[in-house]
Structure 1
Amino acid sequence: MQCAGHVQRMEGTRAPKRLLDGTLEGRRGRKQPRWSDGVNRDIRVLGVRSWKEAAFDCLKWRNMLDQAKARVVEL
């Protein structure tokens, strides 16, 4: 999740950002999950609908990371 926030805040021309947004050419293999699908699943547990928008508010994002870390400790 921490890495996802960094990548989301990058310029759109950088390779990691293009990978996240799916703008690179070529095809994915069949039934290959996207990295962002896992991030979406993890963020939904916290009740956040749009993590890509939330990532731009660094304080809010840091609080979400702290909540996620606390949930991992509880398990």
Structure 2
Amino acid sequence: MQWAGHVQRMEGTRAPKRLMEGTLEGRRGQRRPGGRASDGVERDMRVLGVRSRKEAASDRLKWRNRLDQVQAHPGL
């Protein structure tokens, strides 16, 4: 989640941000589709009651407080 906050504050043209928010081109195998990294972060933030990860990550101090909550929350 610390990395997710860092990536969220990056410019939109940076490769890590494009990979985390975008979808990749091409075909997938016949397996069950995997989730994106951002889906897991969104799910964890919903457990903590955060509505918008983008807004929460824009303020670094608030994001750091959320990370402390995650570490104290069992199961995340």
TM-score range (shorter-chain normalised) is 0.7 to 0.9
Q: How does 1:15-34 map to 2 (within 5 A)?
A: 15-22=15-22, 26-27=25-26, 29=28, 31-34=33-36
Q: Which runs of 5+ in 1 are unaligned?
A: none
Residues 55/11 of structure 1: CA separation in 2 closer, same or farther (3 Å cut): same
What is the match of residue 40 of structure 2?
38
> How many percent identity over aligned positions?
70
2:26 is paired with a residue whose SS is: coil
Residues of 1 paired with 2:67 and 2:57: CA distance? 10
What is the match of residue 50 of structure 2?
48
Residues of 1 paired with 2:18 and 2:67: CA distance? 23
What is the match of residue 65 of structure 1?
67
Residues 28/58 of structure 1: CA separation in 2 closer, same or farther (3 Å cut): farther
Q: What do residues 32-72 of structure 1 show as CA deviations (whole Å, max 9, x unaligned)?
A: 21110010111111100111111010111011000111113
Residues of 1 paired with 2:3 and 2:18: CA distance? 14
RMSD value over aligned CA atoms?
2.1
Residues of 2 paired with 1:34 and 1:4: CA distance? 12
